[in-house]
Amino acid sequence: MIDSNPSTSTIPHVAIVDDDDDLRESLSWLLDSVGLHTRAYASGDAFLDDDPQQHDAILLDVRMPGLSGLQVQQRLQGLDACPPVIMITGHGDVAMAVSALKAGAVDFIEKPFNQQQMIDILQQVLAEQRERADRQQRLASLHQRYAALRPREQDILKEVACGFTSREIAEHLALSAKTVEVYRQRIMKALGATSLAHLIRLSVALELVDILPDHELPRD
């Protein structure tokens, strides 16, 4: 197993799973040369025995002795968070690669592959993975801030998200309109909303309200 594991977690980690020694070596060199860090495995079993979730992306050969790439992919589907998988296929393995795509792989690359094509595809996948991770982190932070609101503030936010005015909310909750406005300003500050429209978008992200209310959904 070739390991060029970095001391910092900010650099993407890429797993290379292939039984071809020369290919593992050349891929490790190629990806290291563009600033990525790699860990290479000679078999699917060796890869699964390690921690697959430590990687940001996986380059997985379709056809290997022991567990095939498709079998490894099936095992990965049982993880809470599976890194994106790019299948590496040999001649005649395209049908298997298509099956892998249907099972959740993000792309496949045929051997012999163009080095720049490999780098471009992998970097695009890593960029999309970072974007997803950032989005999940922002959503988790938003949920924490929402949970920290007082029950009355949560009630008012739900009313605001449904499109009710401060006066209507005051009537619903037996408050004064001025009190509702004070609460709303506190809520916006707590959630980091810069405008009422922004607050509504955050409410949708929190699933406090549907994107389209039932009465606005199209009828059959």
Question: CATH topology of 13-137 equal to that of 149-216?
Answer: no
pLDDT at 7 over 50: no
Q: What is the dotted CATH code of the domain comprising 149-216?
A: 1.10.10.10
Region 43-60 average pLDDT = 93
Contact between 92 and 162 under an 8 Å Cβ cutoff? The reply is: no
pTM above 0.85, yes or no: no
Reported as a single tens digit per residue, the pLDDT across 63-87 is 899 999 999 998 998 777 789 999 9
| Nearest C-alpha neighbor of 15 from the set 43, 33, 34, 7 | 43
Locate the domains of the chain by residue range.
13-137, 149-216
Reported as a single tens digit per residue, the pLDDT across 124-153 is 999 998 898 899 899 999 999 999 999 999
Confidence of residue 16 (pLDDT cuts 50, 70, 90): very high
Write down the CATH superfamily of domain 13-137: Response regulator (3.40.50.2300)
